[in-house]
Chain A
């Protein structure tokens, strides 16, 4: 590792991690199905340090990838053995907020929720809100084109990224997009967003800010079955109600939340709950809320709870936002899936998820962004049990293939990573994948930067990543 002293020279010895203990938390992201320990982790503090690190790694032909908070759910920020992770958490500053232009210029290690917090004083916010927003970084959000509950109304990260300054795999720096309007012609900014760190590393992000709404109405409707909650979602969309968020949780998810520190008083004895948030001007939200209430009644809602103030609203959201964490406590390992179907097919896919989970004898909870048709079946399992781990993977594949059959996609916001590479050929033709591969090669000709991520891997590459834990390593 003759490159190691050079990295230490750039960032300082304290910021190059090589001990087994330090590397442990970098061997996987939040999807623990895939693990691979990097040779080193380097933690630069400035854009220039990132550029210099990239140049050294490129010169020595060492594989590397950028990483934010490691909250990704598709094994997108892992390097094969011998590779280096460039942690961007120390690049966490706001460079500038221009409230008049509704623009924030930030470093990629900035935490999502902190940006909205900092913008509050201007009456603005950053709209995309992944469930992990209190810890996930904006650079990671851009790499994955992250979504979140509010993206039903406001769109995903790509809709909010106006310009990005990047360092390419060979250390060259470029700026893509336009600070005022995103992009006019060749949209390399749009191509970069969601490319899972395989085209370049973000150094500086120019992000759109959105005015805080004048009024918000949040309600929680309970239903006897998850299918009836899904049918209510379809009805809400069909009647033209422009909700900001439409979130569904099934009974297993409700119980996990109520048994955890995220307890928020959700009804335990119902099949599912639907959280509906409407935002906008006062008179607008009231009329939309009335329409939503009619949908609840027409779809046999058992009970409807309205948040009367900000505290009650926060409590309703606490359960939904904490559900992922609550479900993670049910077993040693968890697999949070991510698939999309047209909203009209939600009831159908939920029936299928239940059937698959029953067939494989796996406990499965569901919480999802219903307005977008973005489902997140959640399997709690023990990864050291080879049979269970295999069952989880098979069940996951069946569900995602069904999503495609119903006219959807294999991923709505988590990305392809290592998790879904085997399914890409089911969504795209060989010609389409060939184009993506050649685009990847144009930007990353030596495949040193997050090699082949988001694209089908060659078999030799796939073997570089260890799946699951063995019983010995438990």
Chain B
């Protein structure tokens, strides 16, 4: 685990890409901070893997997409050059946003060395609520910004929130520290034989904005433009033509 720099007041951290996400979260918690990303505390997933493969952020409702958590980075290009992108502040529009281009590129364009991350105040408690799918569809899109929403069976959704919610249509089921319940639900959901039935109703699970194809193959290049620009961007990064073998 290598936390290279941490600023509690500025809520930013510079982290080695090889750092385990779980280790990073534990370390940040000591400073009352967290990364706004759902993670499995037992997983070996590293920060670099998380962001370079742009996995789905189950906590997107509260904290946004994965890319939104990254302010900048240090990268190694295929020709051995090291470059920096972005900035160490939460807002910077100087130059092109190379950071967003490189994140999610599955190490095709560059190997991630360090990342500068935007952090959030630590919220240890998670409040869980059960809601009927029909009520969820009827109200929650307009009314709530839950931290996550996971279908539990075909009829109900369990939503989590870092803050207590009070709505007539929500039934509180638990309040606990850590994400054990959420993790359990998510793993059950992925293993659920009924998952395919839910896939036909993508609005309800696991999040209203969730795209089923994304988690099944998060780095799959699907769009024509990506193929067209792949070579061009590789050449822009390394004009002599060196490139990483596509993963």
Contacts and interface: CB of A to CB of B under 8 A. Distances in A.
Interface of A: 99-102, 122-124, 144-145, 147, 151-152, 155-156, 158-159, 174-176, 178, 180-188, 190-191, 193-195, 210-211, 214, 234, 237-238, 240-242, 280-284, 340-344, 369, 372-374, 407-416, 420, 424, 427-429, 431-436, 438-442, 454-455
A442 B236 contact: yes
B164 interface: yes
Interface stretch (B21-29, B77-85, B171-179, B180-188): B77-85
A408 B72 CA distance: 12
Contacts of B100: 158, 187, 190-191, 193
Contacts of B145: 210-211
Contacts of B241: none
13 contacts: A101-B208, A123-B143, A181-B65, A184-B220, A187-B67, A341-B89, A342-B12, A413-B93, A416-B94, A416-B95, A427-B95, A439-B233, A454-B96
A147 B67 contact: no
Contacts of B211: 178, 180-181, 184
Nearest to A416: B94
B1 interface: no
Contacts of B166: 281-283
A463 B245 CA distance: 44
A188 B89 CA distance: 22
Nearest to B106: A185
A372 B89 contact: yes
A188 B101 contact: yes
B91 A374 contact: yes
Nearest to A285: B163
A159 B64 contact: yes
A407 B89 contact: yes
Identify which of B10, B60, B237 gathers the most chain A CB atoms within 10 Å of its CB.
B10
A144 B97 CA distance: 11
Contacts of B142: 99, 122-124, 211
Q: Ordered nearest first, which 5 A-B pairs have the shortest CB separation?
A: A190-B100, A240-B121, A409-B92, A438-B236, A123-B142
B32 to A, nearest CB: 6
Contacts of B92: 340, 408-409, 411-412
Contacts, number: 233
Given A155-B64, A283-B164, A185 B105 contact: yes
A210 B98 CA distance: 26
A163 to B, nearest CB: 11
B93 A411 contact: yes
Interface string B37-64: 0000000000000000010100010001
A415 B93 contact: yes
A313 B118 CA distance: 29
Contacts of B218: 184-185
B93 A184 contact: no
B9 interface: yes
Interface in B186-228: 203, 208-211, 214, 218-223, 225-226
Given A187-B103, A240-B121, A372 B232 contact: no
A211 B10 contact: no
B88 interface: yes
Contacts of B103: 187
B137 interface: yes
B239 A240 contact: no
B236 A193 contact: no
Given A342-B7, A342-B88, A439 B163 contact: no
B146 to A, nearest CB: 10
A284 B164 CA distance: 7
A159 B65 contact: yes
Nearest to A408: B89
A344 B93 contact: no
B144 interface: yes
Contacts of B239: 434, 438
A170 to B, nearest CB: 13
Contact of A372 (B88, B90, B233): B90
B153 to A, nearest CB: 21
Contact of A182 (B67, B208, B210): B67
Given A156-B93, A342-B9, A411-B93, 19 more contacts: A99-B142, A100-B208, A122-B142, A123-B142, A145-B93, A152-B90, A156-B91, A184-B214, A185-B104, A211-B142, A238-B9, A342-B12, A372-B90, A372-B91, A409-B89, A435-B83, A435-B236, A438-B235, A441-B236
